[in-house]
Amino acid sequence: MSELSAFNAPTTEKKPEFWRWQEECWVDESKDWRSAKIITCGIDVGSVSSQCVVCVDGQLYAYNSMRTGNNSPDSARNAFKGVSVKTGLALNDLHFVVGTGYGRVNVPFSHKAITEIACHARGANYMGGNSVRTILDMGGQDCKAIHCDEKGKVTNFLMNDKCAAGTGRGMEVISDLMQIPIAELGARSFDVDQEPGAVSSVCVVFAKSEALGMLKAGYTKNKVVAAYCQAMAERVVSLLERIGVEESFFITGGIAKNAGVVKRIERKLGIQAMETRIDSQVAGALGAALFGYTLVQKQGPAKPLAAAA
Amino acid sequence: MITAGIDMGSRTIKVVLLEDIKVDGAPQLQYAVRKTHIIFPGDLDQEEAAEKVYGEALAAAGLARDQIASVYATGAGRKQVRFATDSVTEMTAGARGSVYMFPSARTVVDVGAEEGRGIKADARGKPTDYAGNEKCAAGAGSFAEAMSRALQLSLKEFGEASLRSGKSIPMNAQCTVFAESEVVSLIHANTPKEDIAKAVLDAVASRVCAMVRRVGIENDVVLIGGMVHNTGFVQSLKKAMDVDSILLPDMPEYVSALGCALLAAESQH
């Protein structure tokens, strides 16, 4: 057994974190929240990333996107703090806060929790316009295919949250394995002499060993990444096909930034995904903030929040 | 006569060299294991690894290739064994080896690195039914291995730690990749390591058990594969399967290779 135990000895050294994606805080400098009538906030605490979006009078004003910590309430607070520092907004300036995502019930300063499915549809409707009918949300630990109407209301959805294949977490694993920064994976996956076949599209653990096998067989890293992007595309396309794809087609979530996966999904579906200038990762929080706006219009502002929340 | 069995697993490669012994008056042939050998292929491809493990085993036993009457291969990479006389499935090899070691065994639970499966065997060691999961790493050894890494425990410590826990914390995640994050959250929440270890092993056991139930649980039950070394897992599996005892072979990783060597020997008669 000595050989076995040596092989399984825990490793403690700190490795560079190739999976670490760019956290971002953005403010629309052309707007001023001080002159706005209704200020609403959406907080999306996901399994991998957390976002805070602030809308003024139903328009996107600011967002902050960062990695989820090990505690949902703190992740929610930190997400808002980023926006707060940049804009001077305090919690008691907000007329309504909606929590969404996997940790939505743990947002300490929210007035209401709404599922991320409803929020992504609403956010995509804002980002892509009211022609959006099919949304693919490729999140950190799940993948959802959503149908919605012209108002961004969900009419049907399917999701995979049991398996890391086809999720952002799976992509992080490959980025780490290949030692390629996650933002470069897409471009690298096209830098190949020939498109390889897909690795296992079912299990990330198996895909990982297959990827190592490919490297041993002389594949370039880029080619392995291409094989993985292909597998991920196959996986989500099979989910999409079960629900059907109606145009316009919009992709939200972190993987929307990975052209290596997006282009391969488009190729398989024969449909182009809509383009947007807004960060695809904030779609859920944006939808939440927009729901807040509608609620304030209907029932007036909620009780101001204590600054200490 | 000497025969060889090679088990080309996804993680390790095992070889067994077997010699038949004629005992006067005995109704059946007796066999003796001449040599066992295991390697981690590391950077080698499957073909090279097969050559290496076989060559090393022969050298250690002081045998030449032409002294081996027949070589059978099994496991995920069995087709890569160029020098094999024939190959058999993991089910055939696992059932044959298990029933040879424990003639009363009828249900074989085989938990390898990347696959877990339940096999139903008859009295001659032939598989009559099996259920496995080849698509997902949950319910296989690599799941436990990944979790022990997250806990920074060796596999042995991991199993022993789980035995010290009296709690049962359910794991929500089915996927190995997600479970790893769940384990990290449990660590951050200051959950004792032994409770986390038990939660993980209970989860693997319940998934393995679900597969075995599909073929039906018939006594006696034998567990083969590297997870036999994990005492915590054996305990969790016993509980999940609701059986009083599980037979555990001495050299659990070699059972399928042994089955191969036996089948190779039987093919010569």
* Closest chain B residue to the Cα of A9, Cα to Cα: B154
pLDDT for the residue B223: 97
Is A305 inside a domain boundary?
no
Inspect the interface and report whether the beta carbons of A47 and B137 lie closer than 8 Å: no
Cβ density class A93-102: b for 16+ within 10 Å, e for less = bbbbbbbbbb
Across A158-162, B5-9, B155-159, the highest mean pLDDT is recorded for B5-9
Taking CB atoms and an 8 Å cutoff, what residues of chain B touch A202?
Answer: 135-136
Separation CA A19–CA A2 (nearest Å): 33
Q: Give me the residue from B40, B142, B156 closest to A205, CB to CB.
A: B142
* Average pLDDT of the segment spanning A151-163: 91
Identify which has the larger pLDDT, A70 or A33: A33
Q: Domain map of chain B by residue range?
A: 2-102+252-266, 132-241
Confidence of residue A5 (pLDDT cuts 50, 70, 90): very low
Confidence of residue A244 (pLDDT cuts 50, 70, 90): very high
Taking CB atoms and an 8 Å cutoff, what residues of chain B touch A8?
Answer: 145, 148-149, 154-155
User: Strands A134-138, A59-67: parallel, antiparallel or unpaired by DSSP?
Assistant: unpaired
A223 and A250 share one domain: yes
Confidence of residue A7 (pLDDT cuts 50, 70, 90): very low
Inspect the interface and report whether the beta carbons of B137 and A206 lie closer than 8 Å: yes
B107 touches chain A (CB under 8 A): no
* Average pLDDT of the segment spanning A55-83: 91
Confidence of residue A306 (pLDDT cuts 50, 70, 90): low
C-alpha separations of A6 from A10, A204, B40, B140 in Å: 9, 25, 11, 20
Q: Is B189 helix (H, G, I), strand (E, B) or coil?
A: coil
Task: Say yes or no to pLDDT of B23 above 80.
Answer: no
pLDDT for the residue A2: 40
pLDDT for the residue A14: 60
A31 and A68 share one domain: yes
Is A35 inside a domain boundary?
yes
Test mutation, B43, B52, B171, B181, chain A, max A CBs within 10 A: B181
Inspect the interface and report whether the beta carbons of A11 and B149 lie closer than 8 Å: yes
Confidence of residue B174 (pLDDT cuts 50, 70, 90): confident
Of A69-73, B196-200, B204-208, the poorest mean pLDDT is in A69-73
* Closest chain B residue to the Cα of A10, Cα to Cα: B152
**Residue that has been written with the tokens 């007329």 in this structure:** A95
C-alpha separations of B62 from A191, B3, B65 in Å: 51, 14, 10
Q: Which residues of B, range 157-216, sit inside 8 Å of A by Cβ?
A: 174-178, 181, 184-185, 188-189
Taking CB atoms and an 8 Å cutoff, what residues of chain B touch A70?
Answer: 184-185, 188-189
Is A10 inside a domain boundary?
no
Q: Any idea what the Cα angle at residue A72 is, between residues A67 and A76, rounded to 5°?
A: 70
Task: Say yes or no to pLDDT of A309 above 70.
Answer: no
pLDDT for the residue A220: 92
Residue B29 one-letter amino acid: L
% pLDDT > 90, chain B: 63
* Structural domains counted in chain A: 2
| Mean predicted lDDT score pLDDT of chain B | 90
Domain containing A93: what range? Answer: 24-124+283-299
User: Quick check: pTM over 0.80?
Assistant: no
Separation CA A123–CA A114 (nearest Å): 13
C-alpha separations of A28 from A63, A64, B134 in Å: 9, 12, 50
Residue A296 one-letter amino acid: V
Q: Give me the residue from A12, A203, A216 closest to B136, CB to CB.
A: A203
A97 and A227 share one domain: no
Half-sphere exposure of A248 (CA within 13 A, CB side): 18
**How many CB pairs (< 8 A) connect A and B?**
76
Inspect the interface and report whether the beta carbons of B38 and A3 lie closer than 8 Å: yes
Across A67-71, A202-206, B63-67, B154-158, the highest mean pLDDT is recorded for B63-67
pLDDT for the residue A44: 95
Task: Say yes or no to pLDDT of A6 above 60.
Answer: no
Inspect the interface and report whether the beta carbons of A162 and B148 lie closer than 8 Å: no
Confidence of residue B162 (pLDDT cuts 50, 70, 90): very high
Identify which has the larger pLDDT, B81 or B134: B81
Confidence of residue A8 (pLDDT cuts 50, 70, 90): very low
Q: Do domains B2-102+252-266 and B132-241 have the same CATH topology?
A: yes
User: Strands A96-100, A112-113: parallel, antiparallel or unpaired by DSSP?
Assistant: parallel
Closest chain B C-alpha to A299 CA, distance in angstroms: 38
Residues 6+ apart with CB under 8 A from A181: A18, A20, A175
pLDDT for the residue B126: 95
B230 touches chain A (CB under 8 A): no
% pLDDT > 90, chain A: 62
B48 touches chain A (CB under 8 A): no
The dihedrals phi and psi of B166, each to the nearest 5 degrees, come to -105, 0
| ipTM beyond cut 0.85 | no
Is A2 inside a domain boundary?
no
pLDDT for the residue A13: 55
A71 and A100 share one domain: yes
Is A16 inside a domain boundary?
no
* Average pLDDT of the segment spanning A292-297: 94
Confidence of residue A210 (pLDDT cuts 50, 70, 90): confident
Closest chain A C-alpha to B267 CA, distance in angstroms: 32
B143 touches chain A (CB under 8 A): yes
A220 and A89 share one domain: no
A138 and A181 share one domain: yes
Those residues of chain A whose CB sits closer than 8 Å to some CB in chain B are 1, 3-5, 7-12, 47, 70-71, 141, 162-164, 169-170, 173, 200, 202-206, 209, 213, 216-217
Is A309 inside a domain boundary?
no
B156 touches chain A (CB under 8 A): yes
* Closest chain A residue to the Cα of B77, Cα to Cα: A213
Inspect the interface and report whether the beta carbons of A202 and B135 lie closer than 8 Å: yes
A118 and A188 share one domain: no
pLDDT for the residue A45: 93
Inspect the interface and report whether the beta carbons of B148 and A10 lie closer than 8 Å: yes
- Give tens-digit pLDDT for A74-91: 999 999 999 999 999 999
Q: Is B110 helix (H, G, I), strand (E, B) or coil?
A: strand
Taking CB atoms and an 8 Å cutoff, what residues of chain B touch A7?
Answer: 40
Task: Say yes or no to pLDDT of B81 above 60.
Answer: yes
Tokens of A14: 């700190």
B132-241 belongs to which CATH class? alpha beta
Residues 6+ apart with CB under 8 A from B201: B144, B158, B159, B162, B230, B232, B233, B235, B236
% pLDDT > 70, chain B: 100
Q: Give me the residue from A7, A11, A162 closest to B175, CB to CB.
A: A162
- Burial of residue A25 (CB within 10 Å: 0-12, 13-18, 19+) is middle
* Closest chain A residue to the Cα of B47, Cα to Cα: A217
Peptide bond before residue B129 is cis, with ω within 30 degrees of 0 = no
CATH of the domain spanning B2-102+252-266, picked from 3.30.420.40, 3.40.50.10490, 1.20.1300.10, 3.30.2350.10: 3.30.420.40
Answer yes or no: are the C-beta atoms of B259 and B94 closer than 8 Å.
Answer: yes
CATH number of the domain residue A209 falls in: 3.30.420.40
Is A289 inside a domain boundary?
yes
Three-state SS string over chain A comes to CHHHHHHCCCCCCCCCCCCCCCCEEEECCCCCHHHCCCEEEEEEECCCEEEEEEEECCEEEEEEEEECCCCHHHHHHHHHHHHHHHHCCCHHHCCEEEEECCCHHHCCCCCEECCHHHHHHHHHHHHHCCCCCEEEEECCCCEEEEEECCCCCEEEEEEECCCCCCCHHHHHHHHHHHCCCHHHHHHHHHCCCCCCCCCCCCCHHHHHHHHHHHHHCCCCHHHHHHHHHHHHHHHHHHHHHHHCCCCCEEEECHHHHCHHHHHHHHHHHCCCECCCCCCHHHHHHHHHHHHHHHHHHHHCCCCCCCCCC
pLDDT for the residue A68: 87
Confidence of residue A304 (pLDDT cuts 50, 70, 90): confident
Task: Say yes or no to pLDDT of A1 above 50.
Answer: no
Of A115-129, B24-38, B88-102, the poorest mean pLDDT is in B24-38
pLDDT for the residue A15: 65
Test mutation, A205, A216, A219, chain B, max B CBs within 10 A: A205
